Chain A
Amino acid sequence: MNAPAIASSRPGTTAAREKFAHLLRAEWTKFRSVRGWVITIVIATLLTILLGVWTGANSQEGCPGGPCHYVIPTGPGGEAVTDTYYFVNRPLAEHGSITVRVTSLTGVIETGMTPEGPARTEAAVVPWSKAGLILTAGPSQGSTYAAVMVTGGHGARMQWNYTGDTAGLPGRVSAASPRWLRLSRASDVITGYDSADGTRWTKIGTVSLPKLAPTVQAGLFVTSPSYSATTSSGITGGSGGGAPTHATAAFDRVRLRGGWLGDAWTGTAVSGGSNSPYAVGSGSGYHQANGTFVVTGTGDIAPDVTDGTPVDGPLAGLFIGLIAVVVIGALFTTAEYRRGLIRVTLAASPRRGRVLAAKATVLGAITFVAGLAGAAGAILIGTPLLRANGNPIDPVTALTEVRVIAGTAALVAMAAVFALSVGVILRHGAAAVTIVLTAIILPYLLTAAFPVLPASAADWLLRVTPAAGFAIKQVIPQYQQVAGNYAPSAGYFPLAPWAGFAVLCAYAAVALALASFLLRRRDA
């Protein structure tokens, strides 16, 4: 049976907590008893999931002869990687070193392509063209490695396992200004050095590659990523330009120490196969004469930031959900103001700050659960469908996937609480909805969905407006050692995921505090 109509009051905090539970229950009853609100939330959630399923079922990555079914390789850290280069290699046992002099690094950008091959080329080396020494567990995609190299525009570097990157000597390599590089192995520990003259050496870095096989492949490598540039950006939208490139480097004074096995060099085009983004370039290969090696390669050894579909691909329905929760969040308070019901509410619960807290808690919880269902449904159903249709999906860790799904739900809930607070401040539903949608969604539309703003304005908008919160669903990290189109339209946000979300939270918190202040101060 039911509890007695009037429960005995308990002293102190227990009573206060009990009271807040009463308020939560009252606000939940208010919400669930307006059928239109419940139906709107349910439909928005279902539409979000359905749009995810539709996206998954209808997107097909085109490769010659059907779907690609290209699996993006992952590095030792689980991230997506590009692992394509030309390798002049020999086996190396547990201890040894290789020293070399690089006397030139030149490149070619294939600016126009025809079915027969590059129609027009331009001699230029891209900044992240790489030539140097590499030691790798093997030629299979995503293998553990460490390398020292000269680059087209970023000086000498030591890089390892795709994401590791340390700078060495600056400057470009040329016949007049050559670079000496050395890579040495002591069991699992690899050390890279560089030198401008072959006598004074500087250690760039030491890395440990755990569980490195006793015998590895080591030698010279050259690779060169696609040229990419944002050629225009403005009212008409940004357009990116890109073209394959290849680089050629000249090495001499190769000196081997320690446990090198075999007595001949092998040329290997390391690549992910014909469906990989980097086909083996026509000019790839090497030529050895009089102790000088001329090696040409194309590709990159780096994290992959451009090729896959991010796991939030099927999440386009997020906007339906956002609009729905913003409208309902605002109405949850403004409907009471419109009809004078707020007086009934505040007469029943004179401690107004607690009423607002209860409203925000109930609305936040409902919209979080709805957002969770929508995001989880869209991603967990849509992504496997995308994969089944041959779309390469950016590999992400389970933790990242949880962050995207739970973060999207939190984004939705925070937008609802923001709308609720603005509703209390303005006491007018249409005005509150307009302002909140403008603040959250408009910047995103202008920068990411339909990028009409210049990059600097887009960057600024996504830092200072509540739309910064969309960063919570960014899947791929940005790497400074990879030239990419790090634009909002490509899924990149200027702020880190939680930092961006914190901006939205700050807006919601300030609005909630102002709403609480005004609610307590104003006559009802």
Chain B
Amino acid sequence: MSDAAIEVAGLRKRFGPTLALDGMTFTVSPGEITGFIGPNGAGKSTTMRVILGLDAPDAGHALISGRSYRSLRRPLTQAGALLDAAALQPSRSGRNHLLWLAHSQGVGTRRVDEVIGQSGLGKAARRKAGGYSLGMRQRLGIAAALLGDPPVLMLDEPFNGMDPEGIVWMRGFLTALAAEGRAVLVSSHLMSELQETAGHLVIVGRGKVIADTSVANLLAAASGERVTLCTAAPAGAAAVLERSGAVVADAGGGNLTVSGLAAERIVALLTDCKVPFSEVTPHRATLEEAYMELTKDAVEYRAVPARGPAR
């Protein structure tokens, strides 16, 4: 058995004609936030349901701390999850929702009031959950995930519907939970939500992992060697640089985008050939651009059948 808090290996799952998971494999380590990122339909939620023993995979396995979820005796003390913040009985108060969950694990009432405080639900906990905003529901879902004080947390799109203040709170809260040594897996279809909080990224598309890397590595790999060049003689510059093996594209307004050559080399070449230029800017990719680049082939539109042109 590995030390991984969550181990997902070779998961395959087909829903009718749709291949939802196609060999999904990754691990989640304790003590950091792992971003689970991919476009809608990439298989994030399905993977989480398989980890929680809700859906049975056609192949592969998923383990929590080395054990299958369905073999856990009091599972909420091993792994807490927020799959769908709307999964509530509207006429039941938030506190009673937490109360029945606590009873199912043999967890005491005191813990219910603790997580209500931690999640910032406050007095709203005694109101009917049907009247909650989506942000409040997310907080209730977080509270439910924390009930058993588990070492592993899994949150599916927890930022959905949160106001900016809530997003800031959520980021801080998740960071603090990871700092306590917990493994935190957070899914999102937006890289921007996670780029400042996640230490590790699992990027998925079409049911499998596209990249499994740290944030720093991803940025470095994605930035590549693209340089923006501002010149009064774009044709001459392009000719010079292409002769040295660069790929040059006209970015308009006297700007060229050059890839394949480092900025220092570009400056040296243009200076040698006496091509005038006013600015050479090495391009720094955002995580978002890196992500878009990685997943551009993996975006799956629901209207398009799963059979892609690759087959």
Residues of chain A whose beta carbon lies under 8 Å from any beta carbon of chain B: 1-7, 9, 15, 18-19, 22-23, 25-27, 29-30, 33-36, 335-336, 339-341, 343-351, 523-524
Contacts and interface: CB of A to CB of B under 8 A. Distances in A.
B192 interface: no
Contact of A9 (B73, B97, B99, B144): B73
B56 A523 contact: yes
B103 A25 contact: yes
A350 B79 CA distance: 12
Nearest to B113: A2
Nearest to B91: A34
B10 to A, nearest CB: 18
B162 interface: no
B53 A35 contact: no
B52 A6 contact: no
Size category of the B interface is: 35 or more
Main secondary structure of the interface of A (DSSP, over half): helix
Contacts of B27: none
Nearest to A331: B89
A350 B53 contact: yes
Nearest to B81: A347
B239 interface: no
Contacts of B93: 33
A343 B92 contact: no
Residue from the set A9, A341, A347, A523 with the largest chain B CB neighbour count within 10 Å: A347
A341 B88 contact: yes
A29 B144 contact: no
Contacts of B106: 7, 18-19, 22
Contacts of A5: 107-108, 110-111, 149
B108 A3 contact: yes
B196 interface: no
A29 B92 CA distance: 10
29 contacts: A1-B110, A2-B109, A2-B110, A5-B149, A6-B107, A6-B148, A6-B149, A15-B73, A19-B106, A22-B106, A23-B104, A25-B103, A25-B104, A30-B89, A30-B92, A33-B96, A33-B97, A33-B100, A339-B86, A340-B87, A343-B52, A343-B83, A344-B87, A344-B101, A345-B104, A346-B53, A350-B70, A523-B49, A524-B55
B144 A26 contact: no
B43 to A, nearest CB: 14
Contacts of B144: 344
Given A341-B89, A343-B87, A344-B144, A30 B100 contact: yes
A18 B53 CA distance: 22
Nearest to A27: B100
A19 B107 CA distance: 11
A348 B105 contact: yes
9 A-B pairs with least C-beta separation: A33-B96, A26-B104, A340-B87, A29-B100, A523-B55, A2-B108, A524-B54, A350-B70, A5-B111
